[in-house]
Amino acid sequence: MDAWSMYELQAVRPLAGGSRSWFLTPKGASEEHIGATSQADAASGQEDEGSVVSDGALHIFTPIDPLFVLLPIYSALDHANADSPAAYLTLEDLLERASSKLYAEHARGLNAQQAANSTKNESLEKYEEEGEWEDVQSLASSKAVKERLEESCEVMNVTSTLQTYRPSASRVLSLLRSKLSKLENQDTFEEASSTLGRQLVKAVEADATGEERAAARRNIALDTICAYLDEEWKQSFKRGLQADGLLSDEAAANSAGG
């Protein structure tokens, strides 16, 4: 992993009601060694290199485009709307405003969920809506995020050392369209035969025409991208494709999330 990369951690869990455990053991370790070190580690409160993951989840660490991390931030600042007026902000100010709004939205959601699940006479302690998410602000230190930020924003150089940014819906949609073009390519599907390729096999008949296969690849690629978009970005993206004749009304309605 390098400074220009960002990775996503996913957990694939067993079906509800199922029970699995993964036994992770140091390579070449004997049973005697495992038993002895397990007892010693239990006494000291430390874990050995070998361990048991009791939830049975399979954890997958995969690269992710930082653009998908920035889009919820732009949405929090109401920049998914192409007609929305916006101010130029420094990276720190942009992330600070977004983290405050996202924190407040999350707190309101928790309060609503807590109220819905509580009894009538139960005393509830409300989550404070004023605060900031430090992990959002920490994105400023990522070179990968800064690179995508400059591609998806209008940039104004205030001084030789100070840059300000204004998120641009048109630039974001152009980046998403470029991503769709690369993802729907036949070579991409052949390289990802166990994922995208497998979806294509399920989506088309064996005797499908080249045109039908191309349409299926586009729908699969679109669904893959839309899985990372909130509803507003998703609809803006689809409307643009429809307007340019790159997506039929039927395909737009049938793609992920409608």
Q: How confident is the model at residue 28, as a pLDDT?
A: 56
**Where is the domain boundary, 135, 167, 199?**
167
For residues 33-49, one letter each, b for 16 or more C-beta atoms within 10 angstroms of the residue's C-beta and e for the rest, the string is: ebeebeeeeeeeeeebe
In this prediction, residue 216 carries a pLDDT of 94
pLDDT at 34: 46
The helix/strand/coil state of 11 is strand
Give ∠ CA 191-197-199 in degrees, rounded to 5.
150
What is the β-pairing status of strands 58-63 and 153-157? unpaired
In a domain, 76, yes or no: no
pLDDT tens digit at each of 258 positions of the chain: 444 578 888 887 777 666 665 565 555 555 554 454 445 455 555 555 666 666 667 778 888 899 999 999 998 887 655 555 578 999 888 888 888 888 888 788 877 887 777 766 555 667 777 766 677 878 877 888 889 999 999 999 999 889 999 999 999 999 999 999 999 999 999 999 999 999 999 999 999 999 999 999 999 999 999 999 999 999 999 999 999 888 887 777 776 555
Residue 96 lies in domain: 87-167
Supply the pLDDT for residue 239: 92
* Residue where a domain stops, chosen among 140, 167, 194: 167
- Residue 202: the pLDDT is 93
Q: Are residues 47 and 99 in the same domain?
A: no
Residues 33 and 92 in one domain: no
Considering the domain boundaries, does residue 136 fall inside one?
yes
User: Do residues 98 and 163 both lie within one domain?
Assistant: yes
Which two three-digit tokens encode residue 205? 């008949």
Of 151, 167, 183, the last residue of a domain is: 167
Instruction: Say how many domains are in the chain.
Output: 3
- Same-domain status, 55 and 117: no
SS3 76: helix
- Give the angle subtended at the CA of 49 by the CAs of 45 and 51, to the nearest 5°: 70
* 244 and 209 share one domain: yes
